[in-house]
Amino acid sequence: MIDKHNLSKLGIGAWGIGGFAEHDPDNNDELQIKAIAYSLKKGMNLIEVNFWNSEGYSVEIIRKAIKKARIDRGKYFIAQAIYNYNLDTIEDVKKEFELCLEKFKTPYIDSLQFPLTAFKKYGFKKLVSLVENYLADEKIRYTSLTNCNLEYLKKYHQIFKEKLFSHELCYSFEIRENEKLGITDYALKHNIINIPYQPLRRNRTAQRNWPLLVNLSKKYDKTQNQIILNWLVSKGFYPLIKSETISHIDENLAALDFKMKQEDLDKLNNFKVPEYKTPKIDWWMTEGGVTMHALPNIFDENYPSNN
């Protein structure tokens, strides 16, 4: 079974598989199945699934891709993300979890992942109790969080300790609020994997041609996206990426095949978007401001030029 020591450095993201918030009837299923199967065969063994994306259709595509790849169950890691938008009660969470077991014909899910807002909706103690029971019954091996503030990351970690596998979070070349707030450092210190989503901002970062990325791209004869992924992995992060073409998958994986000089990594680590002001973060989606997961999508509106 896969643990932290043999997890792939790049994970397979599910956003856009089968559609986005809604199922896209014109989605190219075969193209995505082929791409995910290829990624699995190339050793990308971390894959997130959830039933909110494309109204659950992404799960069907991922299931078919795993079957096509003919990968043994112990050789890939399923992180099931529970989103509480359409799950009103803890019983609904249980039903969705059981559905995931059924879909993948597996007796266990590697990690069951919750957003911060789930604590408010279901109650912190109830959610903790659910996870403890699943761990005891060996229905899950670990638990994970997504978009969690530092207070609750610490609180959850104090309970589950080494069973807290990862924290999926917003982090990229341009957007580093989780680092500024001490969240990524806490995770690194306590062996909780930082898993950035939208690490390339769906190619929008490269389209801006930041001088630092352009120069490093030329220096190492790599694409800007490869520079970003290599840098993130050098920090001990495990980015989630999604690609539908074999060439892009190979390009992403080739980001792991070179090493940058420490002076260049330092430049990347110290980069700050000039005059960028972070909007107020609305952690609980009730306080006004911007939710953490929205930051990659509104960056270009708030920062229209490279100055």
**Assigned domain for 125 exists:** yes
The mean pLDDT value for 84-102 works out to 96
Dump pLDDT digits (tens) for 260-289: 999 999 999 999 999 999 899 999 988 789
**Assigned domain for 232 exists:** yes
**Assigned domain for 304 exists:** no
**Assigned domain for 282 exists:** no
**Assigned domain for 174 exists:** yes
pLDDT reading at 305 higher than 90: no
Dump pLDDT digits (tens) for 122-181: 999 999 999 999 999 999 999 999 999 999 999 999 999 999 999 999 999 999 999 999
**Assigned domain for 246 exists:** yes
pLDDT at 304: 84
**Assigned domain for 90 exists:** yes
Whole-structure pTM over 0.85, yes or no? Answer: yes
Domain carrying residue 229 = 4-272
Q: How high does pLDDT run on average in the chain?
A: 96
CATH code of the domain covering residue 138 = 3.20.20.100
CA distance 144 to 163: 8
pLDDT reading at 307 higher than 70: no
**Assigned domain for 289 exists:** no
The mean pLDDT value for 113-120 works out to 98
Number of domains present in the structure of the chain = 1
